[in-house]
Amino acid sequence: MRVSHHLTDETLQDYSVGSLSAPMETLVACHLTVCQHCRDRAVLADQIGGELFDKFEPVSLSQTSEQLIKQAALSSPIHAPKTEQSSTRTFKDVPKPLARFLSAELDELDWRRIAPGIKQVNLSEQHRSLGAFKLLHLAPGVVLSAHSHSDRELTYVVKGSYQDEIGRFKAGDIADLDGEVAHQPVVDTDEPCIALIASHSPVKYNGLFGKIMQPFVGI
Amino acid sequence: MNTPATTQPKQRTDAAAALRKRMGDNLVAIGERKDEVAFADIYSYYGGRVKSFLMGKGMNEEIAEELTQEIMITVWRRAESYDPAKAAASTWLFTIARNRRIDYLRGNSRIEVELDDEMLDLDNTESDSQEKFVDDEQAAVRLNKALEKLPHEQRQVMHLSYFRGQSHGAIAKWLDLPIGTVKSRIRLAMQAVRVSLQSDGGNLP
C-alpha cells in the first residue's frame, strides 16, 4: 500500500488534543494504521502537548500521594480501555480502527442502494444534520455530485480508487478537506471504490441535481 | 508562560532538560520498584497540572479531582509500561490524561492506531523512524526552543487548543477570528516547530 495523500497538520493536532469526534478519530486512526509519515507527525503533536503541559499552571489537589497509593492497593484496576480494541475481529482490507464498527467482511455488509451505482452502510445513528459517518460503495464510472462542506470532511479509501480535482486517491490515502474545497469524485478504474467518510456537517451540493439527491445520498 | 520574566532562555532550556530527566527517572523507578518517593515527586508536579488540564477543558472541579486521582493511580500501576526511549514523561502523562478524559466524556475509549498493524506502508517507512523520537535531554531542549520561537499569535492558539476550549471552532469564537485563521495558525506553528527541530540538528518529520 503506497500512500500519497496525508492528513493535515491541523487535523493531526486536533487528534492529539482529543477534540475530534469518534468518527473523525476513526478515520485518522485508519490512515495512521498505514502511514508512518503521519504517525511521526502525530507523535510530534503529542510531544508538543507534553511540552506545553510542563508550562501549565497547576491547581491544588485534595489528596496526598500516600493516600493515592493506599487507594491503589485497595481497589482493583478501574478500567482497561484497550480491551475493546484488541478483541476486535479482523476483516480483509479493513484497518483495525474501522473493524470495530463492522459485523462482517466488506462484501457481506448490508449495503443499501441509495442511487444508481452508489450503495452505503451507515455507521452512525445520529441525524445527518449532525454530519455523516458511513461507508460508500461506488461502482466503476460513478461520478458523485460536486459538493463542499461547511466544516471538515475526511475520506479514507478502503479499496479501489477515485479521482477528483485534487488528485487520485487510492487505498490507504486520506482526503482531509476543509470547508472551502468543492470536489467531484469519479471512480476511475474497473474496480468499485469503497470509501469511509466522516463529516461534521451536511454537504452543500453545487448543482440542481445534487440538491435533489441530497436527502437521499446525505453525504 | 508562568516562567519568571527574569529567567534567561539558556536557564529555561537547561531546566527543561533537567526536569525531563528527573520525571523520566521517576517513572522508571515506579515501574521497577514501586518507588513511593518517586511517585510523590511525579504527583506533586503533574497532579495539579492534570487537574488544571481537565478543568481548562471544561470539567467541574469535583469530576476533575476524581479523574486526576484515577489518572495518577494509573500512572502508579502502569509505570512499568513507560519506555524512556520512546517518550518524555510529560508526553506520556499528557496522553494518559487526554485518553481518560475522552473515555469519561464518551463512555468509550479513544480510537487509536495499533502500532503493530501489518497494514503499515513499509515502502513509505524510514527504518530510523523510531530514532527520530529518542528521548534525551537534548530533545527536550530543542522542542522547548522551537516552541519559544513561535510568534505569540501561534503560541496562543496552540495553548488554547491543547488546554482550553473544545475545538478549533470554539477557539475561533473565543478570539473572534475566522476558523480558517485559527487552523492556519495551528498549521504554521506545527510546520515551524518541525523546521526549527530540523535546522537545530534534530531529524524529525
Instruction: Kindly determine whether residue A34 and residue B167, on different chains, have CB atoms separated by under 8 Å.
Output: no
pLDDT at B114 over 80: no
* Cβ–Cβ contact A32 with B under 8 A: yes
Q: For residues B11-15, give the mean pLDDT.
A: 75
Tell me how far apart the alpha carbons of residues B179 and B171 are, in angstroms, rounded to a whole number. 8
Q: Which residue has the cell 475493546?
A: A84
Query: Which residue in A19, A96, A180 is closest to B167 by CB distance?
Result: A19
**Positive or negative torsion for Cα B53, B163, B104, A100:** negative
Which one of B34, B103, B111, B117 would you mutate to disrupt binding with A, by most A Cβ within 10 Å of its Cβ?
B111
- Mean of pLDDT over chain B: 84
Q: For residues B59-69, give the mean pLDDT.
A: 96
Beta strands A161-163 and A174-177, pairing class = unpaired
CATH architecture of B136-205: Orthogonal Bundle (1.10)
Task: Give the torsion through C-alpha atoms of A169, A217, A90, A94, to 10 deg.
Answer: 0
CATH architecture of B17-111: Orthogonal Bundle (1.10)
* Cβ–Cβ contact A76 with B under 8 A: no
- Per domain, the residue ranges of chain A are 1-219
Nearest chain B alpha carbon to A178: B180
Contact between residue B204 and residue B129 where contact means Cβ atoms under 8 Å apart: no
Residues of chain A with pLDDT under 70: 76-88, 126-130, 149-150, 201-219
Give the per-residue pLDDT at A170: 96
Contact between residue A114 and residue B139 where contact means Cβ atoms under 8 Å apart: no
Which residues of chain B neighbour A178 with C-beta distances below 8 Å? 180, 183
Q: What is the pTM of this model?
A: 0.86
Give the per-residue pLDDT at B128: 41
* Cβ–Cβ contact A215 with B under 8 A: no
Q: For residues B47-73, give the mean pLDDT.
A: 95
Give residue-wise pLDDT tens across range B23-59: 999 999 999 999 999 999 999 999 999 999 999 988 9
Query: If contacts are CB pairs under 8 Å, which of residues 30-49 in chain B contact chain A?
Result: 36, 39-40, 43-49
Give residue-wise pLDDT tens across range A170-198: 999 999 987 777 788 899 999 999 999 99
Give the per-residue pLDDT at A84: 47
Instruction: Kindly determine whether residue A97 and residue B111, on different chains, have CB atoms separated by under 8 Å.
Output: yes
DSSP letter for A8, please.
-
Contact between residue B25 and residue B38 where contact means Cβ atoms under 8 Å apart: yes
Give the per-residue pLDDT at B131: 41
Contact between residue A59 and residue B51 where contact means Cβ atoms under 8 Å apart: yes
Tell me how far apart the alpha carbons of residues A49 and B81 are, in angstroms, rounded to a whole number. 20
Query: Which residue in A1, A48, A75 is closest to B147 by CB distance?
Result: A48
CATH topology of domain A1-219: Jelly Rolls (2.60.120)
Nearest to A6 by CA among A42, A27, A35: A35
* Cβ–Cβ contact A48 with B under 8 A: yes
Instruction: Kindly determine whether residue A78 and residue B73, on different chains, have CB atoms separated by under 8 Å.
Output: yes
Give the per-residue pLDDT at A83: 45
Interface pTM (ipTM) of the complex? 0.87
Beta strands A118-122 and A112-115, pairing class = antiparallel
- At residue A196, the 3 state secondary structure works out as strand
- Per domain, the residue ranges of chain B are 17-111, 136-205
Q: Decide which of B198 and B171 is more confident.
A: B171
Give the per-residue pLDDT at A53: 86
